Amino acid sequence: MNRPETRRNGQRVARRDFVKLGGAVAAGVASAGLFDPRFAHAATSKTSAETVVAELYASLSEKQKKAIWRPFDHQDRRKINANWHVTKVTIGDDLFSKQQQTLIDQIVRNITSKDGYERLIQQMDEDDGGMENYSVAIFGEPGTDQFQFEMTGRHLTMRADGNRVDKAAFGGPIVYGHGEENPSDNLFFYQTQKTNEVFQALDADQAEAALLKKAPRETAVQLQGAGGKFPGIAVSKLANDQKELVESTLKVLLAPYREEDVDEVMAILKSSGGLDQLHMAFYQEEDLDDDKVWDIWRVEGPSLVWHFRGAPHVHAYINIGVKS
């Protein structure tokens, strides 16, 4: 996967570094400059994100719980939006101690890959001044069968649930994006480039089936199940080498996330018929630079929806699970 750019418009990107703590972080390593990617994933992966969520929860005062704790069945846990705050407080508020801010950072590290963490830190810095301006909530009680950590803000909804939300990858729908409108400067343009490799490998008849005029709403990511109707070309109709391209594309799309979440995605996909049940659609509208590198695309099947709107900038909505 491409490494994230560290320069923008000729200037070095400033990464926020508001958490500095001389003691040990949750995973047992000293931290300094935690939002510097040099330190990303320095902590061992033996400490799960959910273990750190439990530590964060145990450290909360009653005042803090009132601000960020919600019952597990609270309606906000099911909300998806490209720009919203799950709670009124932000991570950088005085409400949280430096130790708690460090734990939050550790949770984010542990639900991402190294490359995914670095991209996320740069995206949050460029889109809204850094992680300190994003919000978190804890739904339910860590240690029980029903709990979830959620972080939201501009171009972001991400979760940690330890697979406690049955048959829902990532614990439910997630969102990512980036406000940079120049494709070459957007942190996720590499995903469009990779997806378009599939389109470029199609013959004329396949391309006609895959290329559509107008995309559905970006938030239209409800799972349809086995009886659904999906846009674009069915992967089952592709040749073996084309299917291999689709498979490698999925690996690239999933690379920013931790291994256990990727494994859950693949298990859910397999349970609903595998790769052959997916469809891929590309959309002619908003073709940036008129270069026929289709900036809006969608991968969908009975248990997976990945809607990527790359114009005028990236909003991506992902929902992967088994329809109940």
115-131: per-residue pLDDT in tens?
999 999 999 999 999 99
**pLDDT in the model for residue 323:** 85
User: Can you read off the two tokens belonging to residue 277?
Assistant: 């049940």
**pLDDT in the model for residue 253:** 98
* Segment 13-19 mean pLDDT: 37
236-270: per-residue pLDDT in tens?
999 999 999 999 999 999 999 999 999 999 999 99
Q: Is the pLDDT of residue 71 over 60?
A: yes
Distance between CA atoms of residues 98 and 19, nearest Å: 6
Quickly list DSSP for 260-307.
HHHHHHHHHHHHTT-GGG-EEEEE-TT-GGGSS--SEEEEEETTEEEE
User: Can you read off the two tokens belonging to residue 279?
Assistant: 């469809």
HEC string for 180-246? CCCHHHCCCHHHHHHHHHHHHCCCHHHHHHHEECCCCCCCCCCCCCCCCCCCCEEHHHCCHHHHHHH
C-alpha angle with apex 175: 183 to 114, nearest 5 degrees?
A: 75
Q: Is the pLDDT of residue 78 over 50?
A: yes
Per DSSP bridges, beta strands 279-283 and 211-212 are parallel
**pLDDT in the model for residue 13:** 36
Name the pTM for this structure: 0.86
Across the chain, mean pLDDT equals: 87
User: Can you read off the two tokens belonging to residue 259?
Assistant: 């291994």
Long-range contacts from 202-209, C-beta under 8 angstroms, 24+ separation: 202/233, 202/238, 202/242, 206/233, 206/237, 206/238, 206/242, 209/233, 209/237
209 and 230 in contact (C-beta within 8 Å)?
no
- 3-state SS class at 159: strand
**pLDDT in the model for residue 68:** 98
Instruction: For tokens 């909530």, name the residue.
Output: 137
User: Can you read off the two tokens belonging to residue 143?
Assistant: 């240690």
* Segment 3-20 mean pLDDT: 36
- Provide the pLDDT confidence category of residue 163 given band limits of 50, 70 and 90: low
Report the percent of the chain where pLDDT is more than 90.
80
- 3-state SS class at 18: coil
Burial class (CB in 10 A: 0-12, 13-18, 19+), 226: exposed
- 3-state SS class at 72: coil
Q: Which residue has the higher pLDDT, 34 or 291?
A: 291
Distance between CA atoms of residues 93 and 5, nearest Å: 29
Distance between CA atoms of residues 261 and 266, nearest Å: 9
* Segment 89-103 mean pLDDT: 97
Burial class (CB in 10 A: 0-12, 13-18, 19+), 62: exposed
DSSP state of 91: T
* Segment 45-65 mean pLDDT: 90
Residues 6+ apart with CB under 8 A from 169: 261, 264, 265, 268, 320, 321
* Segment 301-315 mean pLDDT: 97
Burial class (CB in 10 A: 0-12, 13-18, 19+), 35: buried
**pLDDT in the model for residue 183:** 94
Q: Is the pLDDT of residue 40 over 50?
A: no
Computed on alpha carbons and rounded to an integer, the radius of gyration of the chain in Å comes to 20
Distance between CA atoms of residues 251 and 255, nearest Å: 6
- Provide the pLDDT confidence category of residue 324 given band limits of 50, 70 and 90: confident
142-155: per-residue pLDDT in tens?
988 889 999 999 99
